[in-house]
Structure 1
Amino acid sequence: MPTQLDVVTIGEAMALFVAEESGPLASVNRFVKRAAGAELNVAIGLSRLGLKVGWVSRLGNDSFGQFVRDTLAAENIDASCVEVDPSRPTGMMLKTKSDDGTDPKTEYFRRGSAASALSVSDFVPSYVTSARHLHLTGINPALSTETRALSVHAAREMRAAGKTVSFDPNLRPALWASRTEMVETLNDLASLADIVMPGFGEGTILTGKEMPEDIADFYLNRGAKLVIIKLGERGAYFQSSEGAQIVPAYPVAKVVDTVGAGDGFAVGVMSALLEGRSVSDAVARGNWIGALAIQVIGDSEGLPTRAALEQHEAAIRA
């Protein structure tokens, strides 16, 4: 196992088949294979920026699982705590091609997946708490009661170890038994995070508030130190005890695929904060990487390398 990690993420990865032609999935004949999963996307993005990242999960002993493991190796992501489950499959999903920038349609085949069997027993304290930061989303706790317990346990352990935790709600209502259960569970998990990063629509669902300032107050009053609300083409609003600000979005000539934008945003924010940058700089980086993500097909294909980031920041300073 590595002696020091910058960030650990916990969650499910799937084989993603993206349509190469327009139309409903039933009529599509050609797909391209990718690896997908919110936590994996974040891990890939942070690793490309030079951070040492570990991903905790379970994969099936199948070709999809091997594909994900190959992706981890190619992206230099530590897989010391990725277990191979001989009795459960790796999940998969299908995604339509969007020609007009609207959200693509997706179909998931993840019920009973290896990752849905993740539990507190998969938490290795010496591994996770060795990292500087833990990133969680609302997807992993939606998979099963066991994965929910793991997310909560990991957040509590990291906070007890004096480390930081970020949380992206990443709402998936179809995975929950009820909206009430989703709201209560995710708000409880958010209360264990230092940084909470909902989209505006997510924030209104989870808090019942209709203004970014009120959404931020809701989570700050529950223990968060920093709340960042993604506002789409308007940019992002952040609020902490030190103040509040809207950071403008980066213009995008053509939206190709909106999936992965929030993950790219999280990559930008976390990488900058871990480098000691200001919150406004971190949100600006998040906006930039989120803008890159929606200009390509695929969940992580638009995430930049460290060299691309340095070139971008040099151009800003010029």
Structure 2
Amino acid sequence: MTMFVADDPGELAAVEHFQRRIAGADTNVAIGLARLGFHVGWLSRVGDDGFGTFIRRALEVEGLDCRHLRTDADHPTGLVFKELAQGGADPHVEYFRRGSAASHLAPTDADDVDFSALRHLHATGIPPALSTSSRELAETILERARNAGASLSFDPNLRPSLWASEAEMRDTLNALASRTDWVMPGLAEGRLLTRRDSPEAIADFYLERGARAVIIKLGPQGSYYRGSLGGVEDSFTVPGVPVAEVIDTVGAGDGFAVGVISALLDGLAPREALSRGNLIGALAVQVRGDMEGLPDRVRLNELASTPQ
């Protein structure tokens, strides 16, 4: 989506000037991994309009492989307007994406993807909420990626307003999560999806359904791991990284996902992966913008060598 962020504090109805950026949980993770040196492909649709052109150019500047980003001549690019974040509170956002190009994604959009070249696939719960055809695409690419031997991660990224009912959201996303290796909900998301309360019980819910690891975001308190990656069954909590000031929490979970996924793909142990996730999540909340705090590899190495 193309995002417009208010220049001034206050409700959107009173703001006259905005800054244009790109937005989307999937996009944030893709850009974060590309900045760390991974070859990242992005599959989606944009409209045949100025906003779609802006997104394509911005992603290419970030180094993403956009060969599977299609231009849809019949449907517009989705838009989102966001209040200026203040005092660490979640800013109000308003979406305009019903009927967007991305909501018309379908299984045929993956027809020419070479899954044999894929090492890892990251999926979120947002595209399946947009339409039936987009949900079918999510199911298709998860199945094809798994059959090709890729590892799979899944972040529910709950958007209840996009679903017809809470039951449909719960059933659909739990079914998708059961097809993946690393399930990464926030604690509140895990409670809503599993109807279980503790991190341990939430993790067991997904492990019983086939996940190899469950990694739960605990906000400022850090993150929780339970799983058997590397053939070793383990369970632990990694404390969060203290920050001097929280400016904007939007994108923190995506930063966490970037840290965990990149670390596991780098061959690090789960505890190190959660530590990196906590670190990048902490970077994300200290700046305005969804992806402005995501580091490149040089910056990450500098931070990793500095005691937190």
Compute the TM-score of the two structures, normalised by the length of structure 2.
0.97
**What amino acid does structure 1 have at the position aligned with 2:248?**
D
Deviation at 1:316, TM superposition (A): 4.2
> What percentage of residue pairs aligned between the two structures are identical?
55
Shift of 1:176: 0.2
| Displacement of 1:125 | 5.6
* Secondary structure of 2:42 counterpart: strand
The question of whether the paired residues in 2 share the 8 Å contact of 1:191 and 1:223 is answered with yes
Q: Residue in 1 aligned with 2:202?
A: 215
Aligned residue among 257, 265, 285 for 2:248: 257
1:307 is aligned to 298
Shift of 1:73: 1.1
> Which of 48, 56, 74 is residue 43 of structure 2 equivalent to?
56
CA distance in 2, matches of 1:192, 1:264: 23
User: What are the equivalent positions in structure 2 for 1:30-179 lying under 5 Å apart?
Assistant: 30-124=17-111, 126-179=113-166
CA separation in 2, counterparts of 1:262 and 1:173?
17
Structure 1: where are the runs of 5+ without partners?
1-13
The question of whether the paired residues in 1 share the 8 Å contact of 2:186 and 2:217 is answered with yes
Partner of 1:196: 183
CA apart distance, 1:124: 3.2
Unaligned 5+ residue runs, structure 2? none
* Cα distance between partner residues in 1 of 2:196 and 2:116: 34
Amino acid at match of 2:208: N
- Aligned amino acid, residue 226 of structure 2: Q
C-alpha deviations, 1:46-83, integer Å up to 9, x for none?
00000000000111010100110111111000001111
Kept in 2, the 8 Å contact 1:129–1:157? The answer is no
Amino acid at match of 2:266: E
How far the C-alpha of 1:126 sits from its partner, in A, is: 4.2
1:234 to 2:225 alignment: no
Distance 1:126 1:92, change over 3 A: closer
Letter of the structure 2 residue corresponding to residue 183 of structure 1 = R
Give the corresponding residue for 2:267. Answer: 276
Structure 1 residue 209 displacement after superposition: 0.5
Q: Residues of 2 paired with 1:294 and 1:128: CA distance?
A: 34
Asked whether the equivalents of residues 47 and 75 of structure 1 are also in contact (C-alpha less than 8 Å), the reply is yes
Q: Check the 8 A contact 1:194/1:223 in 2, yes or no.
A: yes
Q: Which amino acid counterpart does residue 22 of structure 1 have in structure 2?
A: P
Aligned residues: 304
Task: Supply the distance in 1 between the matched residues of 2:116 and 2:184 (Cα, whole angstroms).
Answer: 22
Poorly superposed stretches of 4+, deviation over 4 Å: none
Instruction: Return the offset for 1:149.
Output: 0.7
Deviations 1:101-158 (A, max 9, x none): 1111000000110011101001136434421000000001000000101111111111
Counterparts of 2:109 and 2:101 in 1: how far apart (Å)? 12
Note if contact 2:68-2:113 (Cα within 8 Å) is conserved in structure 1: no
Q: Give a deviation string over 1:249-302, Cα, whole Å, max 9, x none.
A: 000111111111111000000000001000000110000001111111111111
Report the secondary structure of 1:223's partner residue: coil
CA distance, structure 2, for counterparts of residue 314 and residue 291 of structure 1: 16
* Structure 2 CA distance for partners of 1:116 and 1:204, relative to 1, 3 Å: same
Per-residue deviation at 1:160? 1.2
SS at match of 1:292: helix
Say whether the 8 Å CA contact 2:129–2:135 is kept in structure 1: yes
SS in 2 for 1:187: helix
The code of the aligned residue for 1:213 comes to: E
Inter-partner Cα distance in structure 1 for 2:111 and 2:56? 19
**SS at 1:307's partner residue?**
helix
Paired amino acid for 1:264: G
CA distance in 2, matches of 1:21, 1:123: 41
Q: Give yes or no for contact 1:168–1:196 (8 Å, CA) kept in 2.
A: yes
**Local SS of the residue matching 1:162:** coil
Secondary structure at the aligned position of 2:121 is classed as strand
Task: State the TM-score, normalizing by the size of structure 1.
Answer: 0.94
Question: Contact 2:41–2:65 (CA<8 Å) still a contact in 1?
Answer: yes
